[in-house]
Structure formats: C-alpha cells, structure tokens
Amino acid sequence: MLSTTFLGVKLKNPVIAASGTYGYGREYESLFPLETLGGISVKGTTLMPRSGNKPPRIAETASGMLNSVGLQNPGVDAFIANELPYLKTKDIAVIANISGNSPEEFAELARKLDIDGVDILELNISCPNIREGGKSFGADPVTAAAVTRAVKAASKKPVMVKLTPNVTSISEIAKAVEAAGADALSLINTLTAMRIDIRTKRPILANNTGGLSGPAIFPVAVRMVYEASGAVKIPVCGMGGIATAEDAVEMMMAGAACVQVGAAIFRDAYAPKKIIDGLEKYCLDNGNISEIVGAVKLNERDNEW
Ligand SMILES: Cc1cc2nc3c(=O)[nH]c(=O)nc-3n(C[C@H](O)[C@H](O)[C@H](O)COP(=O)(O)O)c2cc1C
C-alpha cells in the first residue's frame, strides 16, 4: 500500500532520506537496513572535493537547527568510485544531489552521473552563482531555468530541481524550471537564518549565517509545497521539518507525491523507519498512499484580496 512510482522509478515507500543528512547510507546501516527506505538523496556532490566551511557550523534553535556545513564532499569522481558501487547493491532509489557554480558545472556533473546506479538527478540550485555575485541560482527564475536546461541537455536521467524557500514567489520559480524541462520539483531547502552569541556579540556560526531546518520550518514547507504543486503539472517531492508519519501525511495532502526526511534524523536516527511504519498503519485505515496526494480541501475564505 505504500509503494509508488516517482519519475518512472519504483519506490517501495514514499520516504527518502534528505541530502546531507544521511551521508551515503552506509553510515546508518548498523541501525536498520538502508533498503527499508524508499530512496536516498546522497550528500550534495560537486565537481571537485570540498572540505566545507569552518566550524562552528551547527547551531541549535527552538525546534530546529542551523547549519553551514558548506557542501563538504569528496567530489563526483570519488562518489562514483567509492560510494555508488555500494548503493548499487541496494534495492533503493538513488538520487544524486548535485551543486555547481555555473550551468556548465551542473551539466558536467550531470554528464558524469549519466551512469548505471543513479536513478534521479536532484539539482541543488540554492548554491551561489559566481557570475552574479553569489546570488543563488534558485532565487531567480532566469538562472534557475538556465541550470535546468543545461542539465536536461547533458543527461537522460529524470531531473528533479530542488527549490530554495528564500524567494518571494515559489510558484514563479516552480513554473520557470518546469518550462525549462524539469521532470519534478523537490522543496524546500533550508531557510537562510542567523543566531548571535550575546556574550561575544558574534554570530554562532563561523559563516555568520546558515540554513534553518527541522520542525521549525514545517508549516512554511507545507505552504510552499502546496503553492508550488498547484502551479505546475510535474510531481513534487516535499520536505522541510518532517518528523512524524502525520507530518508526512500532511505534506502529501499539500501536494507532495513523496517526501524527504532530513534534520529529524539527527534527533532520532530511527525517524525515517518510524515514519514508514506510521504510514503503513495510516494506510491500513485509509487506503493506498497515492490517494492522499494533494487531497487538501481548502476552506472558503471571507476576505479574498
Ligand atoms: C546538515 C545538513 C546538510 C545538508 N546538506 C544538503 C546538501 O548537501 N544538498 C541539499 O540539496 N540539501 C542539503 N540540506 C538540506 C536538506 O536536504 C533539506 O532540504 C532541509 O534540511 C529541509 O528538510 P529537513 O527540515 O527535514 O531537514 C542539508 C541539511 C542539513 C541539516
């Protein structure tokens, strides 16, 4: 009852570990089998290895966390040589999450990953566009579309574009990447945020700002998934603060065909498994999981603007 097909890829359940929160799967294998999950979106991969930002790069917040890890990863060649062979032995959807500093870099990553074992490409367009003074690709419909087009031309894999919530109109960006050929959307990435140590007057993160994730962002994510999925015809993978099966159901009712779980894993490494078990129970009472996708019934509003 939990199985579903997303972008032509069979998922045994709609729960995917979010990029940057589950490594390459191996790290958690001693707790429960990786194959319990519907899929894994691997740590954000770049052309060259990156050591990430200076510490401190994690800060606690009410009901969430800030991170400025900065895409620490061994680079795409090491991913292909050392991590992908392991993932290929698992009956699980493998989503390669990629980041670049130009559309050409995204395209080169996509070409390298147009290989057996990668099921879906997820484009992290929250990263900075060096040609535009570091503004993120995902904050502008034109640059978001340019990255999408470059990757579509370079790869035959299904392309899921991961949107940043740090925009005024998520629908505008969603429509732009759909028109550029995206096969699906995933959202939301982290919300840019900041904390200050009042004793030192310095930001807690060495990078000054970071990305907020966890339950604190859940209602924002539900609203954005609702708006984005309503604006496009392509499917949406929803994430942002999901910590329980009820959260996953809510996100799917907002319009998500599948969900990703991120920060909740740092609080409880069994969270994805508990969510899958909870969804199974939910389905016993309510039928097939696909039926709840977009099932929200809006209220009549008194004051339309
Ligand atoms: C420590 C950490 C590292 C992350 N690394 C990545 C990454 O490499 N690529 C990416 O697209 N998103 C990354 N994210 C964002 C998550 O995949 C997810 O979009 C976000 O945290 C919201 O979901 P959550 O509240 O369930 O964590 C990272 C998040 C965290 C907390």
pLDDT tens digits, 149-202: 999 999 999 999 999 999 999 999 999 999 999 999 999 999 999 999 999 999
**Pocket probe mutation, ligand 1, options 15, 16, 21, 42, max atoms within 8 Å of Cβ:** 21
Atom of ligand 1 nearest to the CA of 213: 25
Q: Measured from the CB, is residue 100 less than 6 Å from ligand 1? A: no
Strands 159-162 and 120-124: parallel
Nearest alpha carbon to residue 125 among 140, 104, 108, 110: 140
Domain ranges of the chain: 4-292
Q: What pTM was estimated for this model as a whole?
A: 0.98
Residue 305, pLDDT above cutoff 90: no
The third-level CATH classification (topology) of the domain covering 4-292 is TIM Barrel (3.20.20)
258 is catalytic: no
Identify the helix (H) or strand (E) that includes residue 41. Answer: strand 39-41
Both structure tokens of 176: 């732009």
- On whether the CB atoms of residues 127 and 105 are closer than 8 A, the answer is no
Nearest alpha carbon to residue 64 among 198, 188, 163: 188
Q: Give whole-number Cα distances, 171 to 10, 106, 136, 225, 233, in Å.
A: 27, 23, 17, 9, 12
> Mind listing the pLDDT tens digit for each residue in 187-218?
999 999 999 999 999 999 999 999 999 999 99
Query: Using 50, 70 and 90 to split pLDDT, how confident is the model at 79?
Result: very high
Give me ligand 1 centre to Cα 124, in Å.
10
Q: Measured from the CB, is residue 152 less than 6 Å from ligand 1? A: no
Give me ligand 1 centre to Cα 285, in Å.
32
